[in-house]
Amino acid sequence: MTTKRYADASRMFDRSQLYSPADAIRILKEMPAAKFDETVELSIRLGVDPRKADQMVRGTVTLPHGTGKSVRVAAFAAGDAARQAREAGADLVGGEDLVQEVLKGNIEFDSAVATPDMMPVLGKAGRVLGPRGLMPNPKAGTVTEDIAKAVTEIKAGKLEYRVDRQANLHLVMGKRSFEGRDLMENYLAVVDEILRAKPASAKGRYIRSVTISTTMGPGIRIDPARIREVEAAA
């Protein structure tokens, strides 16, 4: 977004005000458009301490209308599982050979899945994939015997999320070109999942702040007290 477009978008709403989800999506849709179909992103700050194991918030969520972008999936598998992954649409499939490519810095994928038997081999690449949030994990369903299902779900819009060290979550909500109601349904799917994942040990206010924005647009703040308020989004 150019400086002028960003400034024009910023003048369309009060940066200090908290909006309902529908109003926030409506404002976002009315902003001056960029020359490409921007991604709509959701940022949530949580009242947890990620340094404590029992307050780590992580998991997966499937967006009912997908992310709007093609996701490149790497499958670490061998034999019949590798064949199943290819048939399910995995973009890259391999074992030790694919791990070596990762170690060389050739990471041409957005998500990764693996069969359990590949984890000892894949462990070598943990220092490379871990910081990028790409290391397959059983809790996220990305280490599984049913690798075809895992690939299919990711291609359909399943996202993995994990709170960062500052207790922030950043997730894709879709594309600006989506209908308002589709963005709303994707948004609610994410919010419901984050609320479900609240650690039992988390004290005080769980949802501290919620903001939506386009790739290069200003953030629109949603009232944490109204995060599940459902009304029609244009």
Q: Is the pLDDT confidence value at 39 over 60?
A: yes
46-65: pLDDT as tens digits: 999 999 999 999 888 999 99
- Domain assignment present for residue 6? The answer is no
* Phi, psi (degrees; rounded to nearest 5) at 137: -145, 130
Tell me the percentage of the chain whose pLDDT exceeds 70: 97
Domain end point (choices 121, 155, 189): 155
Domain end point (choices 122, 138, 155): 155
| pLDDT at res. 131 | 87
Domain end point (choices 94, 127, 155): 155
Q: Which amino acid is at 22?
A: A
3-state SS track over 182-217: HHHHHHHHHHHHHHHCCCCCCCCCCEEEEEEEECCC
What does the pLDDT average to over 58-79? 92
Residue 1 pLDDT grade (very low, low, confident, very high; cuts 50, 70, 90): very low
| pLDDT at res. 60 | 87
> pLDDT averaged over the chain?
92
Residue 29 pLDDT grade (very low, low, confident, very high; cuts 50, 70, 90): very high
Tell me, yes or no, whether 167 and 53 share the same domain.
Answer: yes
| pLDDT at res. 80 | 96
Q: Tell me the whole-structure pTM to 2 decimals.
A: 0.78
